[in-house]
């Protein structure tokens, strides 16, 4: 069970390396300071908002309720929040009573990416079934009328801090780390097959994709790209990088691609992001919010992460959540306009559009 206590500070580690610490200001904002040893040998974990330099950084209220985007990335949302809130209520803890420090401590070392938080509020790893069909039944109970199930603790532990509305669990398959999704209450029953088919289509279209698999012939699984050779890598979403509200339309692909260039300083990465935009537009993936793009720090440099959460989906008002040159219902001319606005040569942009269109 969860043991909650009052704490004033959490220590942030990247794997085992001490990065810094977070405290809460009197008005409820997060304050962060890098550790002196990390300042000497590390790198900025959030280049646009937490540059690698001494001193205390204080977050703003919006868009992450007083948190920094990089740490907000560690917290669950959607499905994870549903599980956590029910688990807290089960143990008679009011979810609204917890501050962001306590919530990070609950994540501890069980989150996505490489950031870990101490002290870690204990989570019992309950004994339960790892059978995906059994887990799917328990997921349906949670999404339905049942407030709790006998597998609630198990579902929370296996969900970690994975984001998004769709239920998911983290498993080991053939000694490798995978994330497996289940249908939400609004999904069709074949959503796993649909996402798997589009993952194959994305590879054909030249997108950088992690390995994918259809478990039990119906559950979509993706090999975790934040773990390589059992070593966790630091991942930062576009929402966390740019402090963009992923719950609302708050980003344009022109901004996203310019940010990609500023962060990675690599035109190959810029073209990867442009290709992902083209693919999202051509397949009608309108749920392309700011948390569905990420960057990964590897080999001492930032790169675009492999693509994920790419399948046809609705946006608010049937428009793309991330607009294309200001247009929520873009045409090919808008894709070319983004290329012009981000200094991607027109012949290269046209080539990428043709390649993706041919595959789709």
Domains in the chain: ranges and CATH? 9-118 (no CATH), 132-227 (3.30.200.120), 233-359 (no CATH)
Place of tokens 């794997």: 15
User: Helices (DSSP H) in the chain: which residue ranges?
Assistant: 36-41, 69-72, 79-90, 100-107, 132-143, 152-159, 191-204, 238-242, 253-264, 267-283, 332-341, 346-359
Q: Please write the tens of the pLDDT for every residue from 250-283.
A: 999 999 999 999 999 999 999 999 999 999 999 9
DSSP state of 337: H
Q: Please write the tens of the pLDDT for every residue from 289-300.
A: 999 999 999 989
Contact criterion met (CB below 8 Å) for 74 and 116: no
**What pLDDT is recorded for position 124?**
61
Contact criterion met (CB below 8 Å) for 18 and 29: no
- pLDDT category, 123, cuts 50, 70, 90? low
CA distances from 289 to 116, 247, 358 (A): 25, 7, 25
Q: Please write the tens of the pLDDT for every residue from 69-100.
A: 999 999 988 888 888 888 888 888 888 889 99
Going by C-alpha positions, the residue among 310, 308, 311 that lies closest to residue 210 is: 308
Contact criterion met (CB below 8 Å) for 243 and 63: yes
CA distances from 234 to 110, 131, 137, 279, 336 (A): 14, 30, 33, 26, 32
User: Which pTM value belongs to this model?
Assistant: 0.94
- The CA distance from 83 to 163, in Å, is 12
């Amino acid at each position: 069970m969860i043991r909650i206590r009052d704490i004033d500070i959490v220590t942030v580690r990247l794997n085992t390396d001490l990065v810094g610490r977070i405290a809460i200001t009197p008005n409820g904002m997060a304050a962060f300071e890098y550790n002196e040893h990390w300042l000497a040998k590390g790198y900025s974990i959030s280049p646009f908002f937490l540059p690698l330099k001494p001193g205390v950084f204080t977050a703003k209220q919006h868009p992450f309720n007083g948190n920094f985007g990089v740490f907000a990335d560690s917290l669950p949302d959607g499905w994870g929040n549903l599980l956590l809130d029910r688990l807290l209520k089960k143990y008679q803890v009011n979810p609204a009573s917890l501050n962001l420090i306590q919530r990070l401590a609950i994540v501890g070392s069980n989150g996505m990416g490489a950031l870990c938080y101490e002290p870690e509020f204990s989570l019992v790893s309950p004994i339960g079934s790892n059978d995906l069909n059994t887990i799917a039944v328990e997921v349906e109970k949670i999404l339905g009328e049942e407030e709790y199930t006998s597998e609630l603790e198990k579902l929370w532990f296996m969900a970690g801090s994975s984001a998004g509305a769709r239920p998911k669990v983290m498993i080991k398959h053939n000694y490798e780390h995978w994330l497996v999704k289940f249908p939400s209450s609004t999904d069709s029953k074949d959503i796993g097959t649909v996402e798997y088919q589009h993952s194959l289509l994305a590879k054909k279209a030249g997108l950088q994709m992690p390995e994918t698999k259809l478990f039990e012939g119906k559950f979509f699984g993706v090999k975790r790209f934040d773990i390589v050779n059992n070593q966790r890598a630091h991942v930062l979403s576009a929402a966390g990088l740019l402090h963009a509200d992923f719950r609302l339309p708050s980003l344009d692909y022109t901004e996203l691609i310019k940010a990609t260039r500023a962060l990675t300083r690599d035109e190959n990465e810029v073209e990867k992001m442009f290709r992902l935009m083209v693919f999202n537009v051509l397949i009608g993936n309108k749920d392309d919010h700011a948390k569905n793009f990420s960057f990964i720090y590897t080999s001492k440099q930032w790169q675009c992460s492999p693509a994920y959460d790419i399948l046809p989906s609705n946006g608010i008002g049937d428009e793309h959540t991330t607009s294309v040159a200001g247009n929520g219902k873009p045409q090919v001319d808008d894709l070319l306009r983004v290329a012009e606005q981000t200094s991607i040569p027109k012949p290269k942009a046209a080539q990428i559009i043709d390649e993706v269109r041919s595959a789709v």
